[in-house]
Amino acid sequence: MSGPQAAGDAPLVQGQYVFGLLVRLCVNTAGGVGILFVILYLALSRSLPGDYAGIYHALRNLSPFLRPILAVSVLVYALLACGSTAALCIYVLHKVAGPLYRMERVLDQYRSGVPTRTVSFRHDDQIQPLAHAFNQWIGTLHRDRHRWLATMKDAERHCLQDEATCRSEMEAALRKIAEDMARYH
Amino acid sequence: MRKSALQPPRPSVRYVNPRFQGPAVLAFTAIITIGGVIFWKLVDSEFQWVFPHAAIRGHYTFDSAYDIVRNLLSWHLAGLFFGVFLTGSILVLLLIAATRYGIGKAVDSLRMSANGDLSTPTGTGPIGELDRFGKKIDAARSDTLTSLQKIRSEAAALATGGMSPEEFRLRWDELKHRIRTIAP
C-alpha cells in the first residue's frame, strides 16, 4: 500500500523507531559505564609496593586517596552520559517534535486566515497520520466551500430570467446551504 | 546540465521543539545523575572497609588494588548499567505511549472534524506540549465552527426573505465573500 491512504493507516510511532531509540540508549549507557570502568581501572590497577609493610600501608591509606578519584570519575561519567543522552534525545525525538512544531505553525496560519495547503512531513518522520487527518479535514472544508459557492453561482444564473425567479432560486440555494451546514456541530 | 544544477538540494531542516524535547532530556539527565550518585555512595562506602580489611587479612596474593575490588566493581558497574538502561527504557516507553495517546486523540479529533464534529474536545492528555497542541486544534475547530454557524444563520435569515432586492443582493454578496474565507 502506498500514498495518502497508507499514510493515514500507518502507526503513529513505528516499532522500528522505538527499537532504534532503545538500542541507541543501550549503547549510550554502555559507553558511559565503559568510560567509568576505564577511569576506575586506571586508578586502581597501579602495582602495589613489593614488600609486605609497603603493601599494608598502601592498602590502609588507599580509601581516602580513592575518594576524590571516585567522585571525579562519577562526575565525568555523569557529564559524558548526560551530554550524549541529551544529544540522542534531541536527534531522535526531532522526528516527533519536528512534525508537531510544523503542525502548530500550520494551525496558527490556518487561524490567521493564511491560505492553507496540504501538509506533508519528511519521509522518515513519525506521526504521519496526523498530517493525513489534517489534510482530510481541510479537504472536506474545501470541497464543501466549493459546493456552496457553486450552488450560489447556479442560483445567480437564474437572474438572467425575471427578478422573481432569480430571488426564489437564490432563497432556495440559501436554504440548501443552511441545511448542508447543519451537519457541522 | 546535471540534475543538481537544475534542482538545488533541499536544506536539511532539523526542528528542535524545546517544549517537547526539553522535559525528556531533563528526565534522562535526572536518571543518569541519580544512578551515578547511588553508584558513588555504594562504591565509596564499600571501598572504606574493603581495603583496610584486605590489609588486615595479611595474605597479599594480588598485584594491584583492582584485583581486590574486581568483583565488587563489576557488580556495581553492571548494576549501574542495568539500572540506568532499564529506567531509561521505561521512560522511553512511557514517552512513546503518551505521544501515541495524545497524537492519537488529535488524529481522531481531526477525523471527526472531517465528519462535521467540530465541538467535541480533543483531550490530548496531561503532557504539557501535547495538551497545548490539542488546545490549538480545538481553537482552530472552534473558529471554523463559529464561522460556519454565522454563515448558516445568515443564510437562513436571507432565505426567509422580507427585505428589499438591494439589501438582499448586498447581503448575498457579503455571504459569498464569507464562504470564500472558510479554509482559504
Top-confidence residue, A110 or B4? A110
Minimal CA–CA distance to A126: which of A79, A93, A157? A93
Lowest average pLDDT, out of A20-34, B47-61, B110-124, B131-145, goes to B47-61
| Residue A122 scores a pLDDT above 50 | yes
Quote the ipTM score. 0.85
Q: Which of B63, B67, B86, B99 to mutate to test the interface with A (most CBs of A within 10 A)?
A: B99
- B64: helix, strand or coil: strand
Angstrom CA distances, B48 to A54, A64, B56, B58, B70, stand at 19, 8, 13, 17, 15
Chain B 26-85, residues with CB within 8 Å of chain A CB atoms = 28-29, 32-33, 36-37, 39-40, 43-44, 47-48, 51-52, 54-55, 60, 62-66, 68-69, 73, 77, 80-81, 84-85
What are the tens digits of pLDDT across the range A59-84?
A: 888 888 899 999 999 999 999 999 99
Give mean pLDDT, residues A94-100.
Answer: 89
Angstrom CA distances, A47 to A51, A56, B47, B53, B64, stand at 12, 13, 18, 18, 5
Chain A 12-71, residues with CB within 8 Å of chain B CB atoms = 12-13, 18, 21-22, 25-26, 29-30, 32-33, 36-37, 40-41, 44-48, 52, 55-56, 59-60, 62-63, 66-67, 70-71
DSSP result, B164-177: -HHHHHHHHHHHHH
